Structure 1
Amino acid sequence: MSPSQAPDPMRRRVLACAGAGAAATLLAAFPQARAATVDAQPPSVELDPDGVYASATLVFALPVTLEDALHRGIPLYFLTRMSVSQSRWWWFNASMGEGQQLTRLGFEPLLGKYRVSTGGLRTSYHTLDDALNQVQHVAHLKVADAKDLKPGQTYQLGGRFELDLSQLPRPFQLNVASQSDWQLQADFPQVSFTWTTAPSTAPPA
Protein backbone atom coordinates (compact mmCIF):
# COMPACT_ATOMS: atom_id res chain seq x y z
CA MET A 1 0.00 0.00 0.00
CA SER A 2 1.45 3.38 -1.01
CA PRO A 3 1.61 6.29 1.47
CA SER A 4 -1.26 7.98 -0.36
CA GLN A 5 -3.39 4.87 0.12
CA ALA A 6 -2.58 4.34 3.81
CA PRO A 7 -5.49 4.91 6.19
CA ASP A 8 -5.40 8.32 7.86
CA PRO A 9 -5.74 7.88 11.66
CA MET A 10 -6.99 11.44 12.06
CA ARG A 11 -9.67 10.87 9.40
CA ARG A 12 -10.81 7.68 11.14
CA ARG A 13 -11.14 9.54 14.43
CA VAL A 14 -13.10 12.35 12.78
CA LEU A 15 -15.49 9.87 11.14
CA ALA A 16 -15.95 7.97 14.40
CA CYS A 17 -16.71 11.18 16.27
CA ALA A 18 -19.12 12.23 13.54
CA GLY A 19 -20.94 8.91 13.77
CA ALA A 20 -21.19 9.14 17.54
CA GLY A 21 -22.36 12.73 17.27
CA ALA A 22 -25.07 11.79 14.76
CA ALA A 23 -26.24 8.98 17.04
CA ALA A 24 -26.32 11.33 20.03
CA THR A 25 -28.35 13.86 18.01
CA LEU A 26 -30.82 11.18 16.97
CA LEU A 27 -31.08 9.83 20.50
CA ALA A 28 -31.79 13.32 21.80
CA ALA A 29 -34.87 13.39 19.59
CA PHE A 30 -36.30 10.27 21.24
CA PRO A 31 -38.85 10.82 24.01
CA GLN A 32 -37.38 10.02 27.40
CA ALA A 33 -39.15 7.37 29.49
CA ARG A 34 -38.49 5.27 32.54
CA ALA A 35 -37.22 1.72 32.18
CA ALA A 36 -39.96 -0.80 31.52
CA THR A 37 -40.85 -3.46 34.04
CA VAL A 38 -40.51 -6.96 32.60
CA ASP A 39 -42.53 -9.71 34.25
CA ALA A 40 -40.79 -13.01 33.54
CA GLN A 41 -43.10 -15.95 34.24
CA PRO A 42 -41.70 -19.24 35.61
CA PRO A 43 -40.60 -21.30 32.59
CA SER A 44 -42.20 -24.64 31.80
CA VAL A 45 -40.12 -27.78 31.36
CA GLU A 46 -40.70 -30.29 28.57
CA LEU A 47 -38.98 -33.70 28.77
CA ASP A 48 -38.41 -35.29 25.37
CA PRO A 49 -36.48 -38.47 24.49
CA ASP A 50 -33.57 -36.37 23.18
CA GLY A 51 -33.41 -33.92 26.08
CA VAL A 52 -34.97 -31.00 27.91
CA TYR A 53 -36.86 -28.15 26.27
CA ALA A 54 -38.13 -24.94 27.85
CA SER A 55 -40.98 -22.57 27.08
CA ALA A 56 -41.43 -19.19 28.69
CA THR A 57 -43.62 -16.10 28.68
CA LEU A 58 -42.73 -12.47 29.38
CA VAL A 59 -45.05 -9.52 29.91
CA PHE A 60 -43.90 -5.97 29.21
CA ALA A 61 -44.79 -2.84 27.28
CA LEU A 62 -42.18 -1.44 24.93
CA PRO A 63 -40.84 1.86 26.35
CA VAL A 64 -41.71 4.95 24.33
CA THR A 65 -38.03 5.56 23.55
CA LEU A 66 -37.60 2.08 22.06
CA GLU A 67 -40.86 2.31 20.13
CA ASP A 68 -39.76 5.60 18.62
CA ALA A 69 -36.35 4.15 17.71
CA LEU A 70 -38.10 1.20 16.06
CA HIS A 71 -40.23 3.54 13.94
CA ARG A 72 -37.08 5.46 12.95
CA GLY A 73 -35.66 2.32 11.36
CA ILE A 74 -33.58 0.85 14.20
CA PRO A 75 -34.33 -2.88 14.66
CA LEU A 76 -34.41 -4.25 18.20
CA TYR A 77 -32.92 -7.59 19.20
CA PHE A 78 -34.14 -9.58 22.20
CA LEU A 79 -31.97 -12.35 23.64
CA THR A 80 -33.31 -15.19 25.79
CA ARG A 81 -30.85 -17.52 27.51
CA MET A 82 -32.00 -20.63 29.37
CA SER A 83 -29.80 -23.12 31.20
CA VAL A 84 -30.02 -26.35 33.19
CA SER A 85 -27.82 -26.86 36.26
CA GLN A 86 -27.45 -29.27 39.16
CA SER A 87 -26.84 -28.12 42.72
CA ARG A 88 -23.63 -29.26 44.41
CA TRP A 89 -23.23 -28.48 48.10
CA TRP A 90 -19.42 -28.73 47.97
CA TRP A 91 -18.85 -26.54 44.92
CA PHE A 92 -20.51 -24.32 42.35
CA ASN A 93 -23.56 -25.66 40.53
CA ALA A 94 -22.74 -27.93 37.59
CA SER A 95 -23.89 -26.69 34.18
CA MET A 96 -25.73 -29.43 32.30
CA GLY A 97 -26.70 -27.51 29.19
CA GLU A 98 -27.95 -24.23 27.83
CA GLY A 99 -29.77 -22.73 24.89
CA GLN A 100 -30.47 -19.26 23.56
CA GLN A 101 -32.86 -17.54 21.19
CA LEU A 102 -32.27 -14.22 19.45
CA THR A 103 -35.39 -12.47 18.14
CA ARG A 104 -35.30 -9.45 15.84
CA LEU A 105 -38.11 -6.91 15.81
CA GLY A 106 -38.14 -4.45 12.92
CA PHE A 107 -40.54 -2.03 11.24
CA GLU A 108 -41.07 -1.56 7.50
CA PRO A 109 -42.43 1.99 7.02
CA LEU A 110 -43.29 1.57 3.34
CA LEU A 111 -45.56 -1.39 4.14
CA GLY A 112 -46.58 -0.21 7.59
CA LYS A 113 -45.77 -3.66 8.97
CA TYR A 114 -43.74 -5.04 11.84
CA ARG A 115 -41.52 -8.02 11.17
CA VAL A 116 -40.36 -10.54 13.77
CA SER A 117 -37.50 -12.90 12.90
CA THR A 118 -36.35 -15.85 15.00
CA GLY A 119 -33.83 -18.14 13.39
CA GLY A 120 -35.19 -18.91 9.92
CA LEU A 121 -38.77 -17.98 10.82
CA ARG A 122 -39.99 -14.54 9.72
CA THR A 123 -43.50 -13.27 10.43
CA SER A 124 -45.17 -9.95 9.59
CA TYR A 125 -47.78 -8.16 11.69
CA HIS A 126 -49.97 -5.11 11.20
CA THR A 127 -49.75 -3.94 14.82
CA LEU A 128 -46.95 -3.58 17.35
CA ASP A 129 -48.99 -5.44 19.99
CA ASP A 130 -49.24 -8.52 17.76
CA ALA A 131 -45.52 -8.40 17.00
CA LEU A 132 -44.61 -8.05 20.68
CA ASN A 133 -46.83 -11.02 21.48
CA GLN A 134 -44.44 -13.22 19.50
CA VAL A 135 -41.36 -11.59 21.03
CA GLN A 136 -42.74 -12.29 24.51
CA HIS A 137 -43.12 -16.03 23.98
CA VAL A 138 -40.27 -18.53 23.82
CA ALA A 139 -41.42 -21.98 22.71
CA HIS A 140 -39.67 -25.35 22.77
CA LEU A 141 -36.11 -24.10 23.23
CA LYS A 142 -33.69 -26.98 23.73
CA VAL A 143 -31.55 -26.48 26.84
CA ALA A 144 -29.98 -29.89 27.60
CA ASP A 145 -29.21 -33.21 25.90
CA ALA A 146 -30.53 -36.48 27.31
CA LYS A 147 -27.03 -38.00 27.30
CA ASP A 148 -25.87 -35.43 29.86
CA LEU A 149 -28.64 -36.15 32.38
CA LYS A 150 -29.18 -38.99 34.84
CA PRO A 151 -32.61 -40.53 35.46
CA GLY A 152 -33.95 -39.70 38.92
CA GLN A 153 -31.66 -36.70 39.37
CA THR A 154 -33.10 -33.26 40.17
CA TYR A 155 -32.04 -30.27 38.10
CA GLN A 156 -32.77 -26.53 38.01
CA LEU A 157 -33.92 -24.54 35.01
CA GLY A 158 -33.36 -20.78 34.92
CA GLY A 159 -32.52 -18.03 32.50
CA ARG A 160 -32.48 -14.40 31.52
CA PHE A 161 -34.20 -12.15 28.97
CA GLU A 162 -32.76 -8.85 27.75
CA LEU A 163 -32.66 -6.29 24.98
CA ASP A 164 -29.35 -7.10 23.29
CA LEU A 165 -27.59 -3.74 22.95
CA SER A 166 -24.59 -5.37 21.26
CA GLN A 167 -26.72 -5.77 18.12
CA LEU A 168 -27.29 -2.01 17.79
CA PRO A 169 -25.16 0.14 15.47
CA ARG A 170 -21.86 0.88 17.22
CA PRO A 171 -22.52 4.61 17.87
CA PHE A 172 -25.83 3.73 19.54
CA GLN A 173 -24.17 1.16 21.80
CA LEU A 174 -21.95 3.89 23.22
CA ASN A 175 -24.82 6.31 23.81
CA VAL A 176 -27.57 4.09 25.23
CA ALA A 177 -25.58 1.79 27.51
CA SER A 178 -26.15 4.05 30.52
CA GLN A 179 -29.73 5.04 29.71
CA SER A 180 -32.28 3.32 31.94
CA ASP A 181 -35.03 3.22 29.33
CA TRP A 182 -32.84 0.93 27.19
CA GLN A 183 -32.26 -1.53 30.04
CA LEU A 184 -35.03 -3.99 29.21
CA GLN A 185 -34.20 -7.20 31.08
CA ALA A 186 -35.40 -9.76 33.61
CA ASP A 187 -34.38 -13.07 35.19
CA PHE A 188 -36.71 -16.04 34.97
CA PRO A 189 -37.71 -17.62 38.30
CA GLN A 190 -35.78 -20.84 38.75
CA VAL A 191 -37.77 -24.08 38.63
CA SER A 192 -36.76 -27.63 39.57
CA PHE A 193 -37.51 -30.84 37.71
CA THR A 194 -36.53 -34.51 37.87
CA TRP A 195 -35.19 -36.09 34.73
CA THR A 196 -37.02 -39.19 33.60
CA THR A 197 -36.41 -40.64 30.17
CA ALA A 198 -39.46 -39.77 28.12
CA PRO A 199 -40.94 -42.59 26.00
CA SER A 200 -40.01 -42.44 22.34
CA THR A 201 -42.74 -41.29 19.98
CA ALA A 202 -41.14 -42.99 16.98
CA PRO A 203 -43.22 -45.80 15.40
CA PRO A 204 -42.02 -49.36 16.03
CA ALA A 205 -39.64 -50.79 13.45
Structure 2
Amino acid sequence: MKLLEATLNLHRVWRQWLWLVLGCVLVGHVALAQAQQESFTRIKAVKLEPARNAQHPGWNLAAEFDIQLGQRLRQALDRGLPLQFAVDFKLTKSRWYWMDEETASASYTLNLSYNALTRTYRLVMPSGAYNLARYEDAVAQMARVSDWPVLRKEQVKIGEPYNAQVRFRLVLTELPKPFQISALVNSEWDLSSEWLSFEFTPRQELLK
Protein backbone atom coordinates (compact mmCIF):
# COMPACT_ATOMS: atom_id res chain seq x y z
CA MET A 1 0.00 0.00 0.00
CA LYS A 2 2.77 2.42 0.90
CA LEU A 3 4.50 1.70 -2.39
CA LEU A 4 1.23 2.33 -4.27
CA GLU A 5 0.64 5.61 -2.43
CA ALA A 6 4.19 6.72 -3.12
CA THR A 7 3.76 5.90 -6.82
CA LEU A 8 0.48 7.83 -7.00
CA ASN A 9 2.03 10.82 -5.23
CA LEU A 10 4.94 10.76 -7.66
CA HIS A 11 2.52 10.73 -10.61
CA ARG A 12 0.62 13.68 -9.14
CA VAL A 13 3.87 15.63 -8.71
CA TRP A 14 4.88 14.88 -12.30
CA ARG A 15 1.45 15.95 -13.60
CA GLN A 16 1.62 19.23 -11.64
CA TRP A 17 5.14 19.88 -12.91
CA LEU A 18 4.08 19.10 -16.48
CA TRP A 19 1.10 21.48 -16.28
CA LEU A 20 3.37 24.16 -14.84
CA VAL A 21 5.82 23.80 -17.75
CA LEU A 22 3.01 23.83 -20.33
CA GLY A 23 1.52 26.89 -18.67
CA CYS A 24 4.85 28.74 -18.84
CA VAL A 25 5.26 27.82 -22.50
CA LEU A 26 1.73 29.00 -23.29
CA VAL A 27 2.25 32.30 -21.47
CA GLY A 28 5.51 32.78 -23.36
CA HIS A 29 3.84 32.18 -26.73
CA VAL A 30 1.01 34.59 -25.88
CA ALA A 31 3.46 37.26 -24.77
CA LEU A 32 5.51 36.78 -27.95
CA ALA A 33 2.39 37.00 -30.14
CA GLN A 34 1.31 40.19 -28.37
CA ALA A 35 4.76 41.69 -28.78
CA GLN A 36 4.69 40.91 -32.50
CA GLN A 37 1.29 42.60 -32.84
CA GLU A 38 2.35 45.82 -31.07
CA SER A 39 3.95 48.79 -32.76
CA PHE A 40 7.20 50.15 -31.44
CA THR A 41 10.21 52.20 -32.42
CA ARG A 42 13.50 53.01 -30.77
CA ILE A 43 16.53 55.05 -31.72
CA LYS A 44 19.59 52.92 -32.42
CA ALA A 45 22.07 55.67 -33.31
CA VAL A 46 22.09 59.44 -33.78
CA LYS A 47 24.73 62.12 -34.33
CA LEU A 48 25.22 65.67 -35.58
CA GLU A 49 27.76 66.05 -38.36
CA PRO A 50 29.22 69.20 -39.99
CA ALA A 51 27.37 70.11 -43.19
CA ARG A 52 29.29 69.45 -46.39
CA ASN A 53 28.06 72.68 -47.99
CA ALA A 54 30.73 75.29 -47.21
CA GLN A 55 28.44 78.11 -48.36
CA HIS A 56 25.91 77.24 -45.66
CA PRO A 57 27.92 76.08 -42.62
CA GLY A 58 26.04 74.19 -39.98
CA TRP A 59 25.25 70.66 -38.87
CA ASN A 60 23.29 67.78 -40.35
CA LEU A 61 21.60 64.97 -38.48
CA ALA A 62 22.19 61.28 -39.13
CA ALA A 63 20.05 58.71 -37.32
CA GLU A 64 19.04 55.06 -37.43
CA PHE A 65 15.81 53.67 -35.98
CA ASP A 66 14.39 50.26 -35.16
CA ILE A 67 10.78 50.37 -36.44
CA GLN A 68 8.04 47.76 -36.20
CA LEU A 69 4.48 48.34 -37.36
CA GLY A 70 2.01 46.33 -35.30
CA GLN A 71 -0.61 44.07 -36.84
CA ARG A 72 -3.33 46.72 -36.86
CA LEU A 73 -1.11 49.36 -38.46
CA ARG A 74 0.22 46.92 -41.03
CA GLN A 75 -3.29 45.81 -42.00
CA ALA A 76 -4.42 49.43 -42.35
CA LEU A 77 -1.41 50.19 -44.56
CA ASP A 78 -1.94 47.14 -46.80
CA ARG A 79 -5.62 48.07 -47.19
CA GLY A 80 -4.74 51.46 -48.63
CA LEU A 81 -4.39 53.78 -45.64
CA PRO A 82 -1.37 56.09 -46.15
CA LEU A 83 0.72 56.66 -43.04
CA GLN A 84 2.77 59.74 -42.25
CA PHE A 85 5.73 59.61 -39.89
CA ALA A 86 8.03 62.31 -38.55
CA VAL A 87 11.50 62.61 -37.13
CA ASP A 88 11.58 65.54 -34.69
CA PHE A 89 14.71 67.44 -33.67
CA LYS A 90 15.09 70.01 -30.90
CA LEU A 91 18.09 71.91 -29.60
CA THR A 92 17.84 73.69 -26.26
CA LYS A 93 20.17 75.63 -24.00
CA SER A 94 19.99 75.43 -20.21
CA ARG A 95 19.24 78.62 -18.27
CA TRP A 96 19.66 78.64 -14.50
CA TYR A 97 17.15 81.46 -14.01
CA TRP A 98 14.32 80.17 -16.23
CA MET A 99 13.17 77.28 -18.41
CA ASP A 100 15.49 75.95 -21.10
CA GLU A 101 15.70 78.12 -24.20
CA GLU A 102 14.74 76.41 -27.48
CA THR A 103 17.47 77.28 -29.95
CA ALA A 104 16.33 75.29 -32.99
CA SER A 105 13.71 72.74 -34.02
CA ALA A 106 12.85 70.83 -37.18
CA SER A 107 10.68 67.95 -38.39
CA TYR A 108 11.49 65.46 -41.14
CA THR A 109 8.36 63.88 -42.62
CA LEU A 110 8.00 60.50 -44.32
CA ASN A 111 4.92 59.21 -46.15
CA LEU A 112 4.38 55.47 -46.62
CA SER A 113 1.58 53.97 -48.73
CA TYR A 114 0.73 50.73 -50.51
CA ASN A 115 -0.56 50.36 -54.07
CA ALA A 116 -2.64 47.18 -54.35
CA LEU A 117 -2.61 47.29 -58.19
CA THR A 118 1.16 47.35 -58.55
CA ARG A 119 1.76 45.58 -55.21
CA THR A 120 4.44 48.07 -54.30
CA TYR A 121 5.10 50.31 -51.33
CA ARG A 122 5.77 53.98 -52.02
CA LEU A 123 7.92 55.91 -49.59
CA VAL A 124 8.24 59.69 -49.97
CA MET A 125 11.03 61.37 -48.02
CA PRO A 126 12.73 64.78 -48.29
CA SER A 127 15.64 62.92 -49.92
CA GLY A 128 13.42 61.45 -52.65
CA ALA A 129 10.62 59.01 -53.52
CA TYR A 130 11.04 55.23 -53.63
CA ASN A 131 8.88 52.41 -55.02
CA LEU A 132 9.68 49.17 -53.22
CA ALA A 133 8.33 45.69 -53.76
CA ARG A 134 8.81 44.49 -50.18
CA TYR A 135 7.46 45.93 -46.96
CA GLU A 136 10.72 45.10 -45.18
CA ASP A 137 12.69 47.17 -47.71
CA ALA A 138 10.36 50.14 -47.24
CA VAL A 139 10.77 50.05 -43.46
CA ALA A 140 14.54 49.65 -43.76
CA GLN A 141 14.72 52.69 -46.04
CA MET A 142 12.49 54.66 -43.67
CA ALA A 143 14.63 53.74 -40.66
CA ARG A 144 17.71 55.63 -41.91
CA VAL A 145 18.07 59.40 -41.98
CA SER A 146 21.24 61.04 -43.27
CA ASP A 147 22.46 64.51 -44.23
CA TRP A 148 19.39 66.22 -42.81
CA PRO A 149 20.21 69.94 -42.26
CA VAL A 150 18.89 70.84 -38.81
CA LEU A 151 21.18 73.55 -37.54
CA ARG A 152 22.80 76.65 -39.01
CA LYS A 153 26.02 78.08 -37.64
CA GLU A 154 24.41 81.40 -36.71
CA GLN A 155 21.85 79.64 -34.49
CA VAL A 156 24.42 78.57 -31.90
CA LYS A 157 27.41 79.96 -30.02
CA ILE A 158 30.64 78.13 -30.73
CA GLY A 159 32.08 76.31 -27.72
CA GLU A 160 28.92 76.46 -25.59
CA PRO A 161 27.05 73.27 -24.57
CA TYR A 162 23.54 72.51 -25.82
CA ASN A 163 21.07 69.68 -25.32
CA ALA A 164 19.91 67.95 -28.52
CA GLN A 165 16.81 65.74 -28.66
CA VAL A 166 15.49 63.39 -31.35
CA ARG A 167 12.42 61.17 -31.66
CA PHE A 168 10.48 59.16 -34.29
CA ARG A 169 6.67 59.10 -34.34
CA LEU A 170 3.52 58.31 -36.30
CA VAL A 171 1.69 61.56 -37.11
CA LEU A 172 -1.75 60.74 -35.70
CA THR A 173 -3.29 64.06 -36.80
CA GLU A 174 -2.83 63.03 -40.45
CA LEU A 175 -5.02 59.93 -40.02
CA PRO A 176 -8.73 60.02 -40.92
CA LYS A 177 -10.90 61.01 -37.95
CA PRO A 178 -12.18 57.48 -37.13
CA PHE A 179 -8.60 56.24 -36.96
CA GLN A 180 -7.56 59.18 -34.78
CA ILE A 181 -10.26 58.24 -32.28
CA SER A 182 -9.20 54.59 -32.35
CA ALA A 183 -5.58 55.62 -31.78
CA LEU A 184 -6.54 57.40 -28.55
CA VAL A 185 -7.68 54.16 -26.93
CA ASN A 186 -5.63 51.51 -28.74
CA SER A 187 -1.93 51.16 -27.94
CA GLU A 188 -1.32 49.32 -31.24
CA TRP A 189 -1.42 52.74 -32.93
CA ASP A 190 1.14 54.20 -30.54
CA LEU A 191 4.26 54.36 -32.68
CA SER A 192 6.35 57.00 -30.97
CA SER A 193 9.80 56.68 -29.48
CA GLU A 194 10.94 58.44 -26.36
CA TRP A 195 12.96 61.61 -26.84
CA LEU A 196 16.64 60.67 -27.01
CA SER A 197 18.79 63.42 -25.47
CA PHE A 198 22.49 64.00 -25.97
CA GLU A 199 24.89 66.86 -25.33
CA PHE A 200 26.18 68.84 -28.29
CA THR A 201 28.93 71.46 -28.23
CA PRO A 202 29.54 73.15 -31.61
CA ARG A 203 33.20 73.46 -32.56
CA GLN A 204 34.56 75.94 -35.07
CA GLU A 205 37.27 73.56 -36.29
CA LEU A 206 34.67 70.97 -37.29
CA LEU A 207 33.20 73.36 -39.83
CA LYS A 208 36.43 73.89 -41.73
Q: Name the TM-score, length of structure 2 as normaliser.
A: 0.74
AA partner of residue 77 (structure 2): L
CA distance in 1, matches of 2:196, 2:143: 16
More deviation, 126-135/156-165: 156-165
Deviation for aligned residue 1:148: 1.7
Match of 1:76 in 2: 83
Determine if contact 2:40/2:190 at 8 Å carries over to the other structure.
Answer: no
Q: Percent identity?
A: 25
- Say which structure is richer in helix: 2
* TM superposition shift of 1:101: 0.8
The reply on whether 1:196 has 2:203 as its aligned counterpart is yes
Q: Which runs of 5+ in 2 are unaligned?
A: 1-33
Give the direction of change, closer, same or farther, for the CA distance of 1:179–1:194 in structure 2 (3 Å limit).
same
Instruction: Report the RMSD for the aligned CA atoms in angstroms.
Output: 1.9
* 1:17-166 matches, cutoff 5 A: 34-48=37-51, 50-119=57-126, 121-166=128-173
Question: Does structure 1 retain, via aligned residues, the 8 Å contact 2:58–2:207?
Answer: no
How big is the shift at 1:79? 1.1
For residues 134-177 of structure 1, what are the alpha-carbon distances to aligned partners after superposition, in whole Å with 9 as ceiling and x for unaligned? 11112222222211211111112112211111111223222332
Task: Return closer, same or farther for 1:120/1:44 CA change in 2, 3 Å cut-off.
Answer: closer
Secondary structure at 1:41's aligned position in 2? strand
Q: Return 183-192 or 104-113, whichever deviates more.
A: 183-192
Q: Match for 2:144: what amino acid?
A: H
Larger radius of gyration: 2
Q: Which has the higher contact order (CA 8 A, sep 6+)?
A: 1
Residues of 2 paired with 1:92 and 1:142: CA distance?
26
Which 5+ residue runs of structure 1 have no aligned equivalent?
A: 1-31, 201-205
Q: 2:40 is aligned with what amino acid?
A: T
SS in 2 for 1:160: strand
Q: Which whole-Å CA distance do the structure 2 matches of 1:38 and 1:179 have between them?
A: 16
Residues matched between the structures, number: 169
| Runs of 4+ off more than 4 Å | none
Distance change in 2, residues 1:138/1:193 (3 Å): same
Q: Distance in 2 between matches of 1:63 and 1:175?
A: 14
Q: Indicate the SS of the match to 2:68.
A: coil
Distance of 1:51 and 1:168 partners within structure 2: 34
With structure 1 as the length reference, what TM-score do the two structures score? 0.75
Contact 2:60 2:149 survives alignment (8 Å): yes
